[in-house]
Amino acid sequence: MPKIISRFQEHDASASPIHLHNVTLRYNGVSVLEEINVEIPAGERIAIVGPNGAGKTTLIKLIAGLIEPTKGEISIFGHGPGGHICIAYVPQRSQVDWDFPANVAEVVMMGRIHQIGFFHWPTRADWAIVRKALESVDMQSFSDHRIGELSGGQQQRVFLAQALSQRAEVVLLDEPLTGLDIPSQEAILRILDDLHQAGVTVLTATHDLTLAAKHFDRVMLLNRRLISYGPATNALSHEALVQAYGNQVHMLPGADGALILSDTCCEGEDEVLRS
């Protein structure tokens, strides 16, 4: 019987927040993820990369507790009685109902539901936490705006504010930079840096190898199984990339010593990974 250790547990602050042991997921007999074994250190920024269909979104959802593995164990800060471990999950923008009739402040307040309780009203202290979270992502002036009226980058900042209001110890983001312009990407990355400085563990699924190499402490390279895991210089080696992408990745020396990685399964975009 597959087992997911409860996220609502006391934990040792020195323990690794996330530990996956032999995690496998199959749909109708088809393997989606196979025998994933990995330990995530506390407070690090982890990029999850791989071709389309590699299992990046599935892995994020497994850790978030939204789906259960076919076999294996996912441990969040170990296990023990009582307590509450906060994990914030930010889905892909395409999975969100932007017609939902809520303003920005109300969306951020949703991050405090577990602290407040489903049948209680927010207090002044709760609203103060929401205001502070919005200030942290420079969205305080949009608090009365409908969430669906915002740009993609602004919407992502609001969901990160929700994670801040939740006082999350682990933040899971599924393709948060996709479709954003460069200034919006940089704004999101600065917020992730702030979370890192605060000791929050951040896992981000992305197809952008350049951003993964430049802005994250470790890279997890998937293609239905774990190909490599570690600092980008090791995890994104030539051998590992060929295993993950096969003929879909082409590597050529750039003018400044860069490697040009053309991932034809990810919208045909060229990625630049500096060696």
Is the per-residue pLDDT at 222 higher than 80? yes
The confidence score (pLDDT) of residue 204 equals: 95
Q: How does residue 235 score in pLDDT terms, banded at 50, 70 and 90?
A: very high
CA 266 from chain centre, in angstroms, equals 18
CA distances from 101 to 90, 98, 107, 153 (A): 19, 8, 10, 19
The CA distances from residue 86 to 8, 170, 201, 262, in Å, are: 8, 7, 11, 37
Convert the pLDDT of each residue in 62-98 to its tens digit.
998 888 899 999 888 775 223 345 788 888 776 666 6
How far apart CA 189 and CA 23 sit, in angstroms, is: 29
pLDDT of 250: 59
Q: Picking from 18-27, 238-247, 253-262, which range would have the lowest pLDDT averaged per residue?
A: 253-262
Residue 167, pLDDT above cutoff 90: no
Give CA angle at 70 (69, 76), nearest 5°. 25
pLDDT of residue 14: 59
Q: 113-139 pLDDT, tens per residue?
A: 766 666 678 778 888 889 988 988 888
Residue 70: predicted pLDDT: 93
Range scoring the smallest mean pLDDT among 47-61, 101-115, 160-174: 101-115
On the question of pLDDT at 275 being above 50, the answer is no
Bigger pLDDT: 211 or 262? 211
Residue positions counted in the chain: 275
Q: How confident is the model at residue 218 (pLDDT cuts 50, 70, 90)?
A: very high
* DSSP labels, 28-87: TTEEEEEEEEEEEPTT-EEEEE-STTSSHHHHHHHHHTSS--SEEEEEES---SS----E
Instruction: For residue 20, give the H/E element and its range.
Output: strand 18-27
The three-class DSSP label of residue 237 is: coil
How far is Cα 137 from Cα 133, in angstroms, rounded to an integer? 7
Question: What is the share, in percent, of the chain residues with pLDDT greater than 90?
Answer: 28
pLDDT on residue 269: 36
Structure tokens at 269: 């975009």
Residue 8's pLDDT is: 44
Q: Could you count the other beta carbons within 10 Å of the beta carbon of residue 118?
A: 6
Q: Look over the chain and give the mean of its residue pLDDT values, rounded to a whole number.
A: 80
Torsion of the alpha carbons at 95, 147, 64 and 134, rounded to the nearest 10: 150
pLDDT value, residue 252: 54
> What is the CA 51 to chain-centroid distance, rounded?
16
Decide if pLDDT at 248 tops 80: no
The predicted structure's pLDDT at residue 99: 72
Q: Parallel, antiparallel, or unpaired: how do β-strands 45-49 and 270-274 relate? A: unpaired
Q: What is the pLDDT of residues 18-49, one digit of tens each?
A: 889 999 999 888 889 999 999 998 899 999 99
Please, what is the Cα angle at 14 between 9 and 15, to 5 degrees? Answer: 55
